[in-house]
Amino acid sequence: MAIIHQAKLTPSKPEVLRQLLASRPWGEEGELAVLGAYRFDDPAGEVGVECHLVRVGEQVYHLPLTYRDAPLEGAAPITTMDHSVLGPRYVHDGLEDEVALACFARALAGEQEQAVLEVHDADGTVTTRPQTVALRRETDAGEELPSLDSLWDGERTFTIARTVDGLDDAVRLVAVWDGGEGVVAAC
């Protein structure tokens, strides 16, 4: 269960996504349209794992982010975000964070689904809300799901897409958003 606090974020998530795209050689500049997001639960409950789909021009980007209460050792954060409930959050590229990578490996192996979003209001009210992107796992006919050990032993043997138009392996995670779908991870 991913816990979402009704909070003010500075910088905003769209600003962080623009910053990520601008900082990478594969990113492009232009008007950014946020298509939606999905989350995975960190089994330890320490790291927020949220994956965004955004469109810039004709390209749809898949941008996994992690949110931590301290910087990830050995990786520079994209930015530090002020969260009005949780305090400073160090935002990292999810493809550089082993917690996010392990979530993708478990999802491809059929051992983890996307998280249920539990929204906590300041008055103590707790509700759930649907994610704006739904994930489904697809497997080619005759193929079995890989074992987690075959995907993740400290070295990744699967691919996570930066764009949603280039992966076509036997086992796929397909993101579905209002008006589109595309493969975001595969092995």
> Which band of pLDDT confidence, cut at 50, 70 and 90, is reported for residue 44?
very high
Q: Is the pLDDT of residue 36 over 60?
A: yes
Q: Taking a C-beta distance cutoff of 8 angstroms, is the pair 164, 175 a contact?
A: yes
Q: Is the pLDDT of residue 3 over 60?
A: no
* pLDDT (mean) for 112-140: 84
**Strand, coil or helix: 154:** coil
Pseudo-torsion of CA 74, 110, 178, 52, nearest 10°?
A: 0
Helix (H) or strand (E) holding 88: strand 87-93
Q: What percentage of the chain reaches a pLDDT higher than 90?
A: 51
Q: Taking a C-beta distance cutoff of 8 angstroms, is the pair 61, 162 a contact?
A: yes
The residues spanned by each domain of the chain are 2-186
What pLDDT digit, counting tens, does each position of 148-173 carry? 988 877 667 899 999 987 888 999 99
Residue whose structure tokens are 């579905």? 176
Which of these, 70, 74, 75, 67, lies nearest to 23 by C-alpha position? 75
Enter the pTM of the model: 0.89
Other Cβ atoms within 10 Å of 88 Cβ, number: 11
Q: What percentage of the chain reaches a pLDDT higher than 70?
A: 90
Q: Bigger pLDDT: 10 or 39?
A: 39
Q: Is the pLDDT of residue 89 over 60?
A: yes
The rounded distance, in Å, linking the Cα atoms of 173 and 34 is: 20
Q: Is the pLDDT of residue 2 over 60?
A: no
> Which band of pLDDT confidence, cut at 50, 70 and 90, is reported for residue 10?
low
Q: Is the pLDDT of residue 178 over 70?
A: yes
User: What pLDDT score was predicted for residue 82?
Assistant: 75
